[in-house]
Amino acid sequence: MIRFMNVHKWFKDLHVLNDVSLTVAAGEVVVVCGPSGSGKSTLIRTVNQLESINSGEIWVDGKNVADPKTDLNALRAKVGFVFQHFNLYPHLSVLDNITLSPLMVKKMERAAADKLALQLLERVGLAHKKDAFPAQLSGGQQQRVAIARGLAMQPQVMLFDEPTSALDPEMIGEVLHVMKDLAESGMTMMVVTHEMGFAREVADRVVFVDHGQIIEEAQPEEFFMNPQHDRAKQFLRQLLTPMQ
Amino acid sequence: MNYNWDWNVFFKSTGIGNEIYLDWFVSGLGWTIAVALAGWIIALALGSLLGVMRTLPNKTASAIATGYVELFRNVPLLVQLFIWYFLVPDLLPEKAQIWFKQDLSPATSAYLSVVVCLGLFTAARVCEQVRTGIQALPKGQNYAAMAMGFQQAQVYRYVLLPQAFRVIIPPLTSEFLNIFKNSSVASLIGLMELLAQTKQTAEFSANLFEAFTLATVLYFVLNMSLMKLMGWVETRLRVPGMMGGAK
Ligand SMILES: Nc1ncnc2c1ncn2[C@@H]1O[C@H](COP(=O)(O)OP(=O)(O)OP(=O)(O)O)[C@@H](O)[C@H]1O
Ligand SMILES: [Mg+2]
C-alpha cells in the first residue's frame, strides 16, 4: 500500500530523511517512534506530499507520489491524515468539518454527506456533538472528530502524527480506543506515537527512526523486549523513566 | 466675536429653484455614500484578491501584489485623484475619451474618477489586512485542508478566508470608515458631495458655522452608524465557543 524506496530529504543542510526504505502492506498497522527532531513528522508527511522529497520514490496505492504527473489532490483524497493539534476548522460546526471535503472534493450530495458524517460521529462516539463548534469540545473530542473527518473521504490509508501527544492524560484513552477499533476494521495505518501500550496491542510492526534513518524495524514485542541498537535502548529507557 | 447664529438657515430658500439649503445637504450626503460604497466594493474585491496573492507560494503573483501595494500606498491620495481625473482620460482610446468628456455629465465623470481612485487606493490597504489575517492563521489549517485533497482555491475559499475575515473585521471597519472620510476629496474635482455642499452653503448663506456644524454632525452620525453596523456583523459571524477570532 505504501512503499518508501531510498528516500532522501534535506531542509537546507539538514538531512532529515536519510535513505529511508519501508513498506506498509494493506491492512497493516505500523508505528513509527523515535526521539524529538528525528524526522518522524517529515516522514509521515511525505506520504501525502505535504512535504516533498529530494530523491527516491514513494509509492502509495500504485502511484509514485514524487512523480510530478501524479494528481496530488486525488492522492490526498485517498489518504486520511490526523494531526497532533487536530487542526479542525474552528469556524465550522463538527458536522460541517466532516462533510466539507466529501461535498467539495467528492462532490457528494448534501444528504449523503450528512448521513455519512453522522455514521462516522456515531463510530467515534460523538453523534450528540454534531452541532457543536471545535472550541466547545475537549481535546480528546476534537481529535475524535478529526479522525471522523479523515475517514469521511473513505481513505485507503490513515496517517497519524502523534495524535495523542497534545492531549491531557485522561483523554488519551478515548482516542486510542477509536484508533484501535479502526485498526481492527482492517484499515491500513501509519502512526507516529510514543504510546507503547497502543504499539504493543495494535501494531504489526514498530519502526524506530533516529537522525532521519530507520535504524530498527521489528515486531512490537521484539522491539520492546529486546531492542538491538543502543539508541533504541536509550530511547525506550527514557520513555519509561523520563526523569532519569 | 459678533456672529448671528441662525439654525433656521437650513430651511431657507437657496434662491435656486425651490431648493432649501437642507436639500443640498441631503444630496451631498447621498453622493458621499454613493462614492464610498462603490469605492468600497472595488476595494474589498480587489484588496482580497491582492491579499491572497501576497500569501501564495507563486513568486510572480506575490511580487505583483507587493508592487501594487507599494505604489498605491506611497503616492498621496490627492495626487492619485488628479491623475485619475485629469490624466488617465487623455490616455483612453478616442471613443472612450469623447464618451468620458462629452457624453457623461460632469458629475458622472467626476464620480467615476473618484470611485476608481478611492477603490484602488483602499484596495492596497485592504490587501495588507487580508494578508495579515491569512498569515496569522495556524499553519496547520493550510495543511489540514491540503491533506483533504482541496485545490488551492478551495483551501482559501472554505478554510483560510472565512477565518481570516473574521479576525480582520476591526481593521477592515476602520478602512471602511476611512473611505467615507476620504470621499471628501471628491469636492476638489467638483463633485457636490457633503463637503462641497457644505462649503457652498457657507458661501451662499454666510452661515458658515451652522453649515460646518451640520456637516460635522452628519459625518459623525454616519460613522457611528457604520461602526454599529460592523459591530453587528462581527457579532453575527462570531464562532460559538471562541472569543474574538481564530486561535
Ligand atoms: N519546514 C522546515 N524547515 C526546516 N527545518 C525543518 C522544517 N520542518 C522540520 N524541520 C527540522 O527537521 C527535523 C525533523 O523534524 P520533524 O518535525 O520531522 O521531527 P519529529 O521527529 O517529528 O520531531 P517531534 O517528535 O518533535 O515532532 C528537525 O530538526 C526540525 O527542526
Ligand atoms: Mg513531529
pLDDT at B43: 98
pLDDT tens digits, B62-103: 999 999 999 999 999 999 999 999 999 999 999 999 999 899
With cut-offs at 50, 70 and 90, classify the pLDDT of residue B245: very low
pLDDT at B58: 94
With cut-offs at 50, 70 and 90, classify the pLDDT of residue A244: low
pLDDT at B243: 58
Nearest CA to B187 out of B195, B198, B177, B179 is that of: B195
Which residue shows C-alpha cell 489518504? A79
Residue B110: which CATH number?
A: 1.10.3720.10
User: Which chain A residue shows the shortest CA-CA distance from B153?
Assistant: A104
Please give the average per-residue pLDDT across A191-217, as a whole number: 95
pLDDT tens digits, B51-69: 999 999 999 999 999 999 9
pLDDT at A176: 96
Q: Is residue B224 part of a domain?
A: yes
Average pLDDT, chain B: 94
Q: Backbone dihedral region of A17: left (phi > 0), alpha (psi from -120 to 50 degrees) or beta?
A: beta
pLDDT tens digits, B178-233: 999 999 999 999 999 999 999 999 999 989 999 999 999 999 999 999 999 999 99
Q: Buried b / exposed e across A33-65, counting CB within 10 Å, b at 16+? A: bbbeebbbbbbbbbbbbbbebeebebbbeebeb
Pairing label, strands A55-60, A2-11: antiparallel
Cα atoms in the Cβ-side hemisphere of radius 13 Å centred on A103: 15
Inform me whether the pLDDT recorded for B24 exceeds 90.
yes
Q: Is residue B247 part of a domain?
A: no
Q: Is residue B122 part of a domain?
A: yes
Contact B247 A135 (CB under 8 A): yes
Contact B146 A76 (CB under 8 A): yes
User: Which chain B residue shows the shortest CA-CA distance from A100?
Assistant: B158
Instruction: Say yes or no: A77 contacts chain B, CB-CB below 8 A.
Output: yes
Domain that holds residue B169: 7-237
d(CA A120, CA A124): 6
pLDDT at B246: 41
Backbone angles phi, psi at B239, to 5 degrees: -90, 130
Q: Is residue B70 part of a domain?
A: yes
Contact B240 A133 (CB under 8 A): yes
pLDDT at B3: 83
Q: Is residue B96 part of a domain?
A: yes
| Higher pLDDT among residues A242 and B159, named by residue | B159
Q: Is residue B17 part of a domain?
A: yes
Q: Is A197 in the pocket of ligand 1 (CB under 6 A)?
A: no
Pairing label, strands A55-60, A63-64: antiparallel
pLDDT tens digits, B3-23: 888 999 999 998 888 899 999
Q: Is residue B49 part of a domain?
A: yes
Number of domains in chain B: 1
pLDDT tens digits, A88-144: 999 999 999 999 999 999 999 999 999 999 999 999 999 999 999 999 999 999 999
Q: Return the C-alpha torsion angle A103, A108, A111, A115, nearest 10.
A: -90
pLDDT tens digits, A153-188: 999 999 999 999 999 999 999 999 999 999 999 999
pLDDT at B247: 38
> Can you give the pTM of this predicted structure?
0.90
Q: Is residue B245 part of a domain?
A: no
Residue % of chain B over a pLDDT of 70:
98
Q: Please report residues of A whose CB lies closer than 8 A to that of B165.
A: none
Q: What Rg, from alpha-carbon coordinates, does chain A have?
A: 18
SS3 state of residue A16 = strand
Q: Please report residues of A whose CB lies closer than 8 A to that of B151.
A: 73
